[in-house]
Amino acid sequence: MVEIDCRGLSCPEPVIRTKKALKDNADGLDVIVDDRAARENVPRYAEAAGFKASVQEEGDGWRVKIRK
């Protein structure tokens, strides 16, 4: 599974990177974020784009699992 690391980035950059990565990985990917706004906005974007998203706390941030 493809993983993109968006730690240290504030919104909307994690959402923009997620959108770009999903174009090349239509089955899904994992996005690692440490910004609270990104923790809310990345799964919201994924679900609006027709994917399923789940969030797991991981270390000092979150892993957003996006699947078709």
Supply the CATH number for residue 7's domain: 3.30.110.40
pLDDT digits (tens, 9 = 90+) for 7-63: 999 999 999 999 999 999 999 999 999 999 999 999 999 999 999 999 999 999 999
Domain that residue 29 falls in: 3-67
Report field, pTM of the whole predicted structure over 0.85: yes
Give the model's confidence band at 1: pLDDT under 50 very low, under 70 low, under 90 confident, else very high.
Answer: confident
Who contacts 59 (Cβ-Cβ below 8 Å, separation ≥6)? none
66: nearest Cα among 56, 45, 52, 49: 52
Predicted pLDDT of residue 62: 98
pLDDT at 36: 96
Element (H, E) at 30: strand 28-33
Annotated catalytic sites, by residue? 11
Q: How many domains does the chain have?
A: 1
| Residue 55 DSSP class | E
